[in-house]
Amino acid sequence: MAGTATSAEWQLAIPFAAIGVPLLVTGVVMMRRRISARLSGALVDAEVVSREAHRISAADRRAAGDPSGSTVVPRLRYLDAGGQERIARLDHQARQRLRSEGYRLRYPLGARVRVRIDPRRPDIAYDDTIGSMVVFPGLLASAGLLMSLLALGIYFGS
C-alpha cells in the first residue's frame, strides 16, 4: 500500500519538477552571465544598426493584452577595446509597440545606447540597468527554486 502512495506522490511532483528545474537552471545561468559581464565587462557606446523582428501569434497577443504582434532584438555596432568594430545583439527581446509608444522608441535605428559587453562573449550586449541585469534572472531563479522545492515537498512530505 505504501508503494502506491509514493507512486501517486511522485506523479503529482513531476509537473512541479518539470517546470521548476528548467526555470531554476535558466535563471542561474542568466544571472551568472550577467554578473560576469558586470564584473569584467566594459560599458560602451553602441549604435542600433538593425532590429530582428519576431512575430507573436494572435492567441499570445490576446492573452498578453498587447495588440502590436511583434518583438525586436536590436543589433548594435560598437568599438571594442582594440578599436575593432563589432556587431552584437541585445541579450533580450523588446516589445516593438506598447500602448504608450515610449518603449518602441527606445531602440530606433541609429540611436546611441550604452550597453555592457562581456569580453568573453563580445557578440552579446547587455542593457546595464539593474532590472535587466539582476531582477529578471533573479525572478526566474526564484520561481524555479520555489517550484522545485514544492516538488520535493510533495514527494517527501506526509
Q: What is the pLDDT of residues 59-94, one digit of tens each?
A: 554 554 555 556 778 899 999 888 899 999 988 766
Residue 7 placed within a domain: no
Q: How confident is the model at residue 12 (pLDDT cuts 50, 70, 90)?
A: confident
pLDDT tens digit string along 115-128? 999 889 999 999 88
40 in a structural domain: yes
Amino acid at 17: A
Number of structural domains (the chain) is 1
Is 5 a member of any domain?
no
Give the Å distances, CA to CA, from 114 to 18, 38, 43, 44, 147: 37, 13, 7, 6, 36
Tell me what pLDDT residue 74 has: 87
Instruction: List alpha helices for 41-124, DSSP H.
Output: 58-64
Asked, for residue 76, whether it belongs to a domain, the answer is yes
Query: 14-55, pLDDT tens digit by residue?
Result: 999 999 999 999 999 999 999 989 888 899 999 999 887 766
Q: Which residues are bridge partners to 42 per DSSP?
A: 117
Of 4, 31, 47, the closest CA to residue 133 belongs to 31
pTM: 0.70
The SS3 of residue 51 is strand
2: in domain: no
110: in domain: yes
On the question of pLDDT at 98 being above 60, the answer is no
- Domain contains 116: yes
Q: 21: domain range?
A: 17-156
**Residue 10 lies inside a defined structural domain of this protein:** no
Q: Which residue has the higher pLDDT, 45 or 3?
A: 45
The number of beta carbons lying within 10 Å of the beta carbon of residue 105 is: 9
pLDDT at residue 23, as a whole number = 95
User: What residue type is 15 in one-letter code?
Assistant: P
pLDDT at 1: 42
